[in-house]
Structure 1
């Protein structure tokens, strides 16, 4: 995604949010006017009509409170950013702590920032919150904060704390924070009166509440309840899919699903047994920022049900998990140079962990430079050479030699090849899609020549591997004319809406294509020639398609059978193809080590998604960086 396109998408999301806010504000004004009119008639039953400017005054006061509150809070958030939200909820910044749990938290934050390639935020602890929770806030890297409750520090193991922090870094990666900050300012305006009442009714640090303050707070809370309800509706209207994306990103960053899975199970236990609520009166206003919102999921929830999130993360719905206090046996040292005096930091030798971090940062910087150079190539011949280099096996001498001959006298051809080699594994398919999107605009003769050149390149060593055939099919599909592809598609009427409704003719195409893709699930050959994960994955997919669980895969399809099967799957309805892709991806996650897709598996499934023109599921999309993200 180009920068301007990303900017347009952000503007669209903001415009939708403001439009929804305007609708809620109009509904709130109408509702309050109706209730006040009813109250006036009850108190003055014999009056005729209403006093002059009755409705105008009510509407003006509502707009004054709501819009004034939004503007004031928006300006405060603009000035204070993430630290403003952290201090608002009673947060305390953690810098160079002596406490073992806080030192462990800082180390985990550094590790997840490195794993995700995101900036390191300022870290805050909410010392008065016993519930397990966390959130990130801020407009950008300069004011980014991560807040963790004391309950999370004391009741989560290190692996679980990694999962919790990685989930929050998932929100940073998905660029959720600017929209979250705008939601917060709008909800503050809608909930201003109710929130003020809740603050008056809340006990102080000693647990005391003044009777008069409590009574006044009760009046304000009742008066502002409608605005609070409108604010919760605004939060609930924001897509819940962002939580699934953040969960998937957390698994990618930690390379394990047990950490986040156990965090969600402990949250579920807190909700069912201990209510799991945060104590601060403003916690309801920031529920959109939290890992889960207080209370059970309802129609006003801005988050999906914990049971559904656990099922997606763990592959099945595991029961709630108690969260006792965790005893830390060893105190972790802080290896960050920031914790040393400047004179010692320059002279101190790097630890193995710091050396590995430095090496990874250098590798990421080199990959960013390589990607930038590839994006700077604007010639059609350069686009074709980059595409061929992405498709071929870099370590195959025959293919490399043929690529060099195809490059001929192109200026800086070796630099192009070196830049492609330097790309991380999860950058190759996205860059392939970007290059082929540019090539698709070229004349048909040049596109046909590229497909033929790719065919010759991939069989330069006398054989075509399953991976190479899949890439070649993806190339042919992406650079062909869409109207020509659709000309051979039969009508999709009469098909069901679920995978188990597939008929024999559809299954005759789904089964061989699934058999072919099973080659890309993590392989460890068995006596029968099939890998146990591949076989389990195939049976899982077939079970979702209504086939018996003991269904055995047939022989892998040859080239002609594969093309025929792919054509049949392409003719499935627009509803069934995403369901089939989702089944492939979810079963692959369930049968991958630690629930993390390998690069080979993810690439094969992403290419297959393009071949059947189906959108990427969140679990697969999270494996890859955002199109405009840095390497």
Structure 2
């Protein structure tokens, strides 16, 4: 079976979100009816034994139902608002510590390097990294609403007990969740479950109150009967609430298992190393993945790489398939190979303890604790850390992969590019990207590196005198020479490396940075494609609504034909330097899949302004996920028709992909 593509997975995530909302509303209705049933029996003597459906329509029934619905929605909305801060809020909720990008800890540096390589190879901004210092279990999760605002949280046990290949397999798994839209689904699921849990929490409170007060009023019969009734109501609400949670967890597990299996497969696709993620899962089977230091483990279970908490009725409620099943799904026979490797590296006593000890939920044939079981995975490495860098020639259009098939993937070409680029970056240059001041000056340097020193000085004079946003010559002198030496290929990767530092700016500082960048762009009264791409990138990822999910507004191309006309007119001109007739032919070919009656109603435009292009891309981002591939492929057809992608074409393609929330990996230029 073919591995589902980025756009199919995005569409599936949106369908799952709609399904979750439907199931949540169903659960609300059932819980409301159950609570009303309790209220009916409690007040039956007052209502002269009328039938339940009549009681439900009475003032007692309507008041009870309204109160229950209100409580559930208040519980969900409180948690929803609490998580509005996105991934960083979730990380802080579980007590995770942000990892300093310039950390000196060797294990943290390995994690950072793996994440940076994968981010550059896939074309997404580098996620912010957090670590749960007191967690010895092997686990990780990503959280956020958009790829550009994602954070990745790993446990201390993961970075200290896994080899680099295994850690890379875990990171690849989490990147799959970033691409697939799972993060948004997972965060919303936490909020929905919080509302359902509200009734059970109220019941638990009433139970405690009844038992506490019962001991103080045991001598008074009337008060004793009231407290007993109080306790019965509390017990009923407690049962109803947690029955609701049971079904909520059942839904959570069903959706999560499917997404976890897909993420495992994607990790192998990204790293081309099944032993990596397989070894990480095997060590989870031996050493466990439970989160012991946070009270949110059960609510976070569906987000994590492995089970975060012990689940009763694990076959029903576990959010992940059993470890052995996951490993064998990655590659048939892999489980047997890993067990054989364990036998070869353990002594007889250790082996007996590893095969007969206590077993975590959902795992068969593993011990709950063991020492380090094996070293680095043997065999040829095909991961991001490989040292061999291939030399690529332009690919002929006949054999070129469709541009949309590149989106949300990591290719060998992209991996080689990422590794080689990071090796070429001077440590001083790279270190500056991890600081707020250095990241801000990088944005300026990207616009100034092609100018003469005189022009640089003239444009820097336009910036405000400010300790953070003003020009800092000592930093620019370290940034600009590297940009000039490595060339245009470093521009976007450097910006992606700087994103964690830029995200640390508060909203006012972000707005000021965007204003300063636009001042430099407008200094010469013309806007190049790279300048447009840079300003659009910063606005998309640092703007006031950068973490907002763009809703689907269009489910056909008919409503966006003017936007397609503007975009493909520009792409056709950028993709051909030949005659006007060839440009027209290229445009007609690109538009052929969208205009059912030919291109007579939407002819090529003689000129497209930068503002018109931005408006067109914003409109096209409202397309359904399954309609976006054709737009990406039409743009790709324009820039690859001659078999060569020059830097100007790549920047334009990158702009289109970024503004449509389609992670575009590096391409041969």
Instruction: Tell me the TM-score normalised to structure 1 length.
Output: 0.49
Instruction: Tell me the TM-score normalised to structure 2 length.
Output: 0.46
